[in-house]
Amino acid sequence: AGNYGFQAQPMTFPGGFVPPPVQNQPTMDGTIWMPIPPSIPNCPPGLEYLTQQIDQILIHQQLELLEIMTGFEENNKYELKNALGQRVYFAAEDTDCLTRNCCGPSRPFTIRIIDNLGREVITLQRPLRCSSCCCPCCLQELEVQAPPGTTVGYVVQNWHAYLPKFTIQDEKRVDMLKITGPCVVCRCCEDVNFEVKSVDETCAVGRISKQWTGFVREAFTDTDNFGISFPMDLDVKMKAVMIGACFLIVSLSF
């Protein structure tokens, strides 16, 4: 079972990812997984991790040595952690080589999010679309499925002349939240914040932040750290869609 030090049935995940240990034990690299929460009625399997004990998620992109040395775009991999530094999920992009290196930030992708039990609990699907404000009829969209095959919401890019704006929708395409970013998303020595607001944009309910990681890492790699904050009592499906929104923002802006 690779670096995880346990025996499991062979499973195939993008990028050679090996399912994590079932028990809450450290991996060989010292990673501690969040304890497996009990099942909750009417909660999609795997989203129990996002219940009322979670009000923020930290996303750390993993360094890819080949990508650093050659500039050749690899499938991105991410750790999703809680405020205690415990890994909640592992996410891996599943995109073919030609698409990654030819389509760049506008590429379509599938990101598979794996839980403590090695289950794919969230799937993010982004089709190929335009990201230019000159094409308002074909802007970006991302579908969030939890579990895979069951849509729980969408993240839709909204047209604006100079601001990055998005709408979070539920599975019935009803608007639930709005996201507004800054006019300039590349800033030196400080975080970049995208505010999550109510549908009428009068009340702030959360934030998606790109965290400054230092000059060397910012200049010579494309790995980033992100934070997502939301109300503890927000529906777990909407928390999952906010995670999807973060990944869409990552791909478009950073």
Both tokens assigned to 123? 């799937």
- Does residue 113 belong to any structural domain of this protein? yes
Is 141:126 a contact under the CB 8 Å cutoff? yes
Total domains in the fold of the chain? 1
Residue 186 is assigned to a structural domain of this protein: no
Domain-located, residue 200: no
- Asked if residue 218 belongs to a domain, the reply is yes
- Write down the number of H helices and E strands in the chain: 4, 12
Q: In which residue are the tokens 């499991």 written?
A: 8
Let me know if residue 182 belongs to a domain: no
- Establish if 96 belongs to a structural domain: yes
Would 147 be classed as within a structural domain? yes
What's the pLDDT tens digit per position in 140-151?
899 999 999 999
Structural domain including 105 reads 48-152+213-253
pLDDT of residue 220: 41
| Cα 78 to Cα 58: distance, rounded to the nearest angstrom | 10
Measured from the Cβ of residue 81, the count of other Cβ atoms closer than 10 Å reads 21
Q: How far is CA 88 from the centre of its chain?
A: 12
* pLDDT 10s digits, 86-104: 999 999 988 766 665 666 6
Asked, for residue 77, whether it belongs to a domain, the answer is: yes
Beta strands in the chain (DSSP E): 56-61, 77-81, 87-93, 109-114, 120-126, 141-145, 151-158, 165-170, 175-180, 192-197, 204-211, 225-229
Cβ–Cβ contacts within 10 Å for residue 139, how many?
18
Which tens digits make up the pLDDT trace of 11-55?
444 555 554 544 445 454 567 888 888 888 889 999 999 986 789
